[in-house]
Structures are given as structure tokens and as C-alpha cells.
């Protein structure tokens, strides 16, 4: 193989690797845990515009997982309805622009009565806590 073809091949390989990393974000794994008080069962229904994860019931301490590929437009959004005895809330469990820096590969969520908390790798704690969406009218039914 001539040096020119070898160099061209190397440049194409480098360009492909760079483009894949820049334009096609890696698969994101979501892990959602029930940390409600008093042994309450958490029922979740998570979905995006194009993907419905389905309804899942979690006992206290239970976890469910799903994964997806964020889109190249940095607009990926997953939202969940979360119900337990006496309560029903919505939350945007993944917003690309909010979450990509905190969890580019795996997002660990702890669901509590006051709202979900995201695991922060820097602190080693579930201390990135968010309130529930303000109302059903402002959320994603």
C-alpha cells in the first residue's frame, strides 16, 4: 500500500472516530430506584416522544433500568409519571442539555417523596435533587 493511501486511510479513520464521538453521543443507561418512605410501592411510566418504556411497579428499594441513544440534535427528553399511594407526579427524567454533563453514560436516580435525586459522581451522593414538574398541564401527559 502506498504511503499516500495509508495516510488517507488513517485520516478517514480518525475523522470517523471523531465524528462518531461528536455527532453520535454514546448510549445512556438509566437506573431508577424506589426510595419512598414507609415501604410504599412506586409505579412508574416513562417514555419519550418515540419510545414508551411501559408501566413498572417497584417495591421499596427496587430498581428498574432502560437505555437509549440520545439524538444528534441534543434534544432527547424522557419523562415519567410516578405514582404511589396518595400521590401522582410527573418528572422529566432525562433532558439532554441538563443531564449530559452529569451522566453521559449512566444516570442513577433515587425517587423520594420530595422529588427525584440524581447521583453526582463528584460528591458520591444523590445530591442533585429536583422538584416534581409543577403541574400536569406543564408536564407531558
pLDDT in tens, 89-133: 999 999 999 998 888 899 999 999 999 999 998 899 999 999 999
Quote the DSSP letter at residue 140: -
Q: How far apart are CA 30 and CA 109, in angstroms?
A: 8
Kindly report the average pLDDT of the chain as a whole number.
Answer: 87
Q: Please answer whether residues 109 and 117 qualify as being in contact, where contact means their C-beta atoms are separated by less than 8 angstroms.
A: yes
pLDDT above 60: residue 19: no
Given the DSSP bridges, would you call strands 63-68 and 28-34 parallel, antiparallel or unpaired? antiparallel
Amino acid at each position: 500500500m502506498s504511503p499516500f493511501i495509508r495516510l488517507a486511510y488513517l485520516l478517514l479513520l480518525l475523522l470517523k472516530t471523531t465524528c462518531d464521538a461528536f455527532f453520535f453521543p454514546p448510549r445512556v443507561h438509566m437506573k431508577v430506584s424506589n426510595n419512598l418512605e414507609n415501604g410504599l410501592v412506586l409505579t412508574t411510566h416513562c417514555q419519550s416522544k418515540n419510545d414508551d418504556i411501559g408501566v413498572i411497579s417497584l417495591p421499596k428499594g427496587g430498581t428498574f433500568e432502560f437505555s437509549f441513544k440520545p439524538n444528534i440534535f441534543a434534544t432527547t427528553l424522557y419523562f415519567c409519571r410516578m405514582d404511589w399511594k396518595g400521590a401522582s407526579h410527573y418528572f422529566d427524567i432525562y433532558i439532554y442539555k441538563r443531564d449530559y454533563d452529569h451522566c453521559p453514560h449512566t444516570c442513577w436516580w433515587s425517587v423520594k417523596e420530595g422529588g427525584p435525586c440524581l447521583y453526582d459522581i463528584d460528591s458520591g451522593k444523590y445530591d442533585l435533587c429536583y422538584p416534581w414538574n409543577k403541574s400536569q398541564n406543564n408536564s407531558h401527559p
